[in-house]
Amino acid sequence: MKYLMIHCVDEQRLDPERAVPADIEETLAAWVERMTARGILLDGSRLQPVSDATTVRVRDGDTLIADGPFAETREQVAGYDVIECANLDEALEVAAQHPTALFGTIEVRPFWAG
């Protein structure tokens, strides 16, 4: 089954030139290598900072565009991974090994089947 791992972090903890703290970079590369070798990691990417985001809404036929998201939280979506695991337990084990879990949160959500 495929799962989406949504990485959420407090951007104030990040170096503006990087998407992850410098001390995590090596650990992240090792995680990617391990999960790719196991055939679990299908895709993943870091996202530009929330300051580069644009929000689109359509209300009563009008398209409303605004700079940035409007979340009432310090943690913002910083990246994602698409993984394929036998079950939720394996997906949670994979997420717990990801370096983001050390300084942020990871939401694990299954894709709809079919």
Output DSSP code: residue 111: P
- CA dihedral sign, ordered 20, 105, 48, 94: positive
CA distance linking residue 82 with residue 112, whole number of Å = 13
With 70 as the cut, is the pLDDT of residue 15 above it?
Answer: no
Residues 46-103 pLDDT 10s: 888 888 889 899 999 999 998 876 666 677 888 999 999 999 999 999 999 999 999 8
**Collapsing DSSP states into helix, strand and coil, what is residue 26?**
helix
For the whole model, what pTM was predicted?
0.85
Domains of the chain, each with CATH number or no CATH: 2-110 (3.30.70.1060)
